[in-house]
Structure 1
Amino acid sequence: MIPNQWYAILPSREVKRGALYAVKRVNLDLVLFRDAEGKLGCVVDQCPHRGAALSAGKLAGSHVRCPFHGLEFDTEGNCRRIPANGNASKEDISRYNVKQYPVQELMGIIYLWFGESEKATASVPFFHDQIDNSFSYSEFPDHWNAHYSRCIENQLDVVHVPIVHYNTIGKGNKTLVNGPKVLYENGMLKTSANNEVDTGQTPKKPDDCEIRSLYLGFLFPNIWINHISDKLMVLIYFAPVDEENTILYVRFYCKLTPFRSLNALIAFFGKFANKRIERQDKRVVVTQKPAASTLKSGEKLLTGDGPIIKYRKIRQELKEST
């Protein structure tokens, strides 16, 4: 994982008031919950007293209550009560505080800060200039037995489209890859497919290509967009579970019509088309070795793998700079 980054990890709707939500993300066992005012909290799913899973407990007002000895913790991880000490106790119980992770919510997505808490930034990665609340969307999750870096690279790969998706988005046998052109501006990696049917012509070099209106965008560490048009987009956030598992949350955004209910219906049915395409990718990506990609992996990459090479370079730079 790249440290000191905001990772999109979960839809906001999954964490409901009055309930604990246990989840594994970025190799951490976590429990998320909301206090009485709806404020989101995220702490390590282990009581510092005797090691029981806090997620096996319950909410006591705004606090997580351990199922074993009743210790209570707030959204900041502070220990607020130890029943065995008695309510009249004046003892300093801060040594029982549990590790807390900063979390934020934006556009129905929960983000987790993975790294040093004091370095957490105010803003989280999202495609603000492309998507706003005027869109309707549908969403579905899918678990892949693959490292999140492999899942991301698949969505930046223009070479595989006519092969893997030969009967869906890759119809037409456009196997010859021009470029592709790759840009990294304002924190976003951007590219687009410019494939053609191979009639014996020489592929164009990346500098001779352009980014088309239908393009792919990526924001580190784990959120991607397929900009089909200004009114139709697919967004995926790749939630890392551990070194071998990722959950893809796939959203289909739509505002093709002036009617929100109709846009929602289009988005609902668009989900099924996206699922078919995504499952074509999954069948292949889960077979890749090694599990995680690296800048120097021993793979013999093609010119058409330019977006993947750029992703790996930036990822490596981010890992080394923190």
Structure 2
Amino acid sequence: MINNQWYAILPSKAVKKEAVVSVKRLNQELVLFRNRDGELGCVVDQCTHRGAALSRGKLQGECLQCPFHGLEFNPQGHCTFVPANGRASTADLSRFNVKAYGVRESHGIIYLWYGEPEKQTGELPFFDGDIDDSFVCSEIEDHWPTHYSRCIENQLDVIHLPFVHHNTIGRGNKTLVNGPKIEFVPGGLVTSANNETDVGQTPKAADDCVIKATYLKFLFPNIWMNHISEATKVIIYFAPVDDENTILYLRFYCRSTRLRPVNALIAWFGKFGNRLIERQDRRVVITQKPKASAFISKENLLSGDGPVIQYRRIRDELKRRK
């Protein structure tokens, strides 16, 4: 994983008010809870007293109560009460504190800060310049038994389109890959497919290509967008579970008409298109070995793999950064 990043990990709707939710993310067993004021907390799912799973507990006032001996923890992971000591106790409870992760919400997504708390930034990765409140969206999720880096690279791969998606978005047998052109933006990169039917011509170099109106944008560490048109976009955030599993959350955004109910209906049907296409990808990507990709590897890459290479390079640099 890349340290000191905001990872999109879960839809906000997955943690309702006064609810307790157990998830595994970033190789950690976590429990998320939302108290009656709507404040969101995320702590390691293990009580520091006797090791019980806090996700089996319940909310008690503003705090999460351990199901075993009733210790209570606030959203910051601080132990606020040990019933066995009594309410009159003045003992220092800090030794019972549980590790907490910073969490924030935006655009209906829960983000988790993975890294040093003092380095936490205020900016969450999202496509604010591309998506606003005029859009409506639908969302589905799917589990891929592979590392999140492989899932992301698949969405930056323009070579696979005529083979994996030969009867959907890759129709036309455009197997020759021009470029592709890559541009760097704050926090990520932009690219687009510029493929052609092979009739014996030489592929164009990246410098001779352009970013098309339909383009791909990726922001580190784990959120991607397919800008299909000004009215239609697809977003995926790739929630890392562990080194061999990822949950993909796919959103179809629409503002094709002036009527939100109609747009909502289009988006609802759009999610089934998302499902069809991502399942075509999934069938192949989960077979890749090793599960996680790396900047330095034994793979024999092509010039058309440029976006994947740049993703790996930047990811490697971010992982090395102190």
Note whether the superposition's TM-score is higher than 0.5.
yes
| 1:66 counterpart residue number | 66
Q: How does 1:22-171 map to 2 (within 5 A)?
A: 22-171=22-171
1:299, 1:128 → 2: CA distance?
35
Partner of 1:174 in structure 2?
Answer: 174
Contact 2:19–2:35 (Cα < 8 Å) also in 1: no
State the alpha-carbon separation in 2 of the partners of residues 114 and 100 from structure 1: 11
Runs of 4+ in 1 over 6 A off after TM superposition: none
Q: Is the 8 A contact 2:11 2:108 kept in 1?
A: yes
- The letter of the residue matching 2:301 is L
| 1:266-285 Cα deviation digits (max 9, x unpaired) | 00001111100000000000
Instruction: State the Cα distance separating 1:17 from its structure 2 match.
Output: 1.2
5 Å-filtered alignment, 1:1-322, equals 1-322=1-322
Residues 9 and 238, structure 2, Cα contact 8 Å, conserved in 1: yes
For residues 194-233 of structure 1, give each alpha carbon's deviation from its aligned partner in whole angstroms, at most 9, with x where no partner exists.
0000000000001110100100000000000000011100
> CA deviation digits over 1:117-147, x for unaligned, max 9?
1111011100000011211000000000010
> Deviation per CA, 1:47-83, whole angstroms, max 9, x where unpaired?
0001000001111111110011000000010101100
SS of residue matched to 1:263: helix
Query: Deviation of residue 265 (structure 1)?
Result: 0.3
Cα offsets for 1:144-176 (capped at 9, x unmatched): 001000000000000000010000000000000
Amino acid at match of 2:16: K
CA distance in 2, matches of 1:34, 1:121: 22
Give the CA RMSD over aligned residues.
Answer: 0.6
Partner SS, residue 229 of structure 1: coil
Question: Structure 1: which 5+ residue stretches go unaligned?
Answer: none
CA distance in 1, matches of 2:114, 2:29: 13
Distance 1:67 1:271 in 2: 39
Any stretches of 5+ residues in structure 2 without a counterpart? none
Aligned letter for 2:25? R
How far, CA to CA, are the matches of 1:251 and 1:22 in structure 2? 23
Q: Match for 1:145: what amino acid?
A: P
Q: Give the CA deviation at 1:43.
A: 0.5
- Tell me the TM-score normalised to structure 1 length: 0.99
User: What is the CA-CA distance between 1:186 and the residue it aligns to?
Assistant: 2.0
Measured in 1, the distance between the counterparts of 2:199 and 2:291 equals 36
> Percent same amino acid at aligned positions?
66
Deviation at 1:185, TM superposition (A): 2.0
Q: How many residues align?
A: 322
Shift of 1:36: 2.1
The TM-score normalised by the length of structure 2 is 0.99
1:123 partner SS = coil
1:188 deviation in Å?
2.6
TM-superposition CA deviations, 1:255-312 (whole Å, max 9, x none): 0001111100000001111100000000000000011000011100001000000000
